[in-house]
Structure 1
Amino acid sequence: MGVLNVTPDSFSDGGHWFDTSAALKHGVNLAAEGADLVDVGGESTRPGASRVDEQEEMRRVVPVVRGLVAEGVLVSVDTMRASVAEQAIDAGAVLVNDVSGGLADPAMIPVVAAGGVPFVVMHWRGFSHDMNTRAVYGDVVGEVVAELRARVDAVVGAGVPRERLVIDPGLGFAKEARHDLGLVAALGDVRALGRPVLVAGSRKRFLGQVLAGPDGTPPPAHERDAATAALSAIAAHQGAWAVRVHDVRASADAVRVAREVAAAGGRA
């Protein structure tokens, strides 16, 4: 899953693809580099980010979805708003990736149910402006799995078939670096919920902390792509359904190697 942020303020590439024509070109390039899905989002969810106006989000996202679909690209939409999801589905989006798992907008689940598309349920404890204060866990793996299970059950109960759900442990959302690393190490526990798992850790803070220099300063986001590719290989080895990344080619190569190693083990 290739990341296409149509925003001026995303943490790693805000403003690069804010223009619709630039976004379309980049989305086509992501697909050419190996993205099976291009995930189009018009609202930054970085820690501390303020929400964008609904109409502005719609203006950013829908023309890009429509244009990429016209180019033959499979598109998912990254949004917490039912209205944006509905318009994106009408424009040809084949999956809704809601980082709130439907909690931010009560109308989201009925829209997804009516649209007949897969839905990503991410572990989420609140909006970006204060999510860092919610990163309190006694047992991060057990609590995230339990909260995801409860949310999946709620979404199914509200009308979305279980077989259409993908789950995401929510790396970087209301989590410190040690929480993120612990969840990556325990992806098998997340997979035990019985749904495909999306891993979205590309360029995030916990990778920056792993790569920090002697003075504790992390490298800038765009210098974390090698670490992201390593994360992609680990996720693939643990059976993730997809990885969501900014630099598609490196992670696509990493996933291919992980698959071949796994296959070779089965043949040995």
Structure 2
Amino acid sequence: MLQLNQIHKIFNEGTPDEKIAIDHVNLTLQPGDFVTVIGSNGAGKSTLMNIISGVLIPDVGEVQIGEKNVTNMSEFKRSKMIGRVFQDPMAGTAPSMTIEENLAMAYSRNKMRTLRQGVTKKRRDYFREVLESLHLGLENRLSAKVGLLSGGERQALSLLMATFTEPSILLLDEHTAALDPSRAELITNLTREIVDKYKLTTLMVTHNMQQAIDLGNRLIMMDKGQIILEVNEENKKQLTIEGLLMEFKRIRGVQMSSDRAILS
């Protein structure tokens, strides 16, 4: 379970550039919830992700994972509980290391083991087995450097690594935005499959409204650092892009930003 209680974050406080990035946000994800997050640029989506993961510490409020208050816990310590996939396919993996070495590193995240101990045949067979589920042929390229993989292949590997140890929380930060349509669809389907299989508690930021509607059991809309709309599972089944735009106008009194990413 993830709980955010009265989270507040200000950037450049006391200067002409002061900006309220997160404005007293409350949010609870029950075990197994898959919540999609939409909002225009600057709405606070990525800041919220960074506060949950420990990159940023809130000025006010608490972050709780399970029964543990992690508000002031470092990003490194929190990483044992959180899996995260970024927008940039270059992030989340070590490009100079092989596929096998990257998987070994992810596998050892919660264990007192190092790469120096090597990879046993049993574990190598396991790596091949999980890679086969990606249907990308990576199970036959364990010794290939990750830096030589395509963007879609790297993002698939990043998703696999982030979920290897079945983390308490999975954060997906626009993880299909930088991919071409066919690879984006592949990663979207893979996301659905992995989250459903392991019942992962997931928070996914996306600029693609249709993707936000299609995935997950809940949806939230952010604007100016606030959660202005929450849609439960039952209402989400009837949701459309037009309906979301109408809700934004009803709440804010203006049209939602029409930038390309929002309406894609």
TM-score, normalised by the number of residues in structure 2: 0.36
TM-score, normalised by the number of residues in structure 1: 0.35
Larger helix share, 1 or 2: 1
Instruction: Please identify the structure whose Cα radius of gyration is greater.
Output: 2
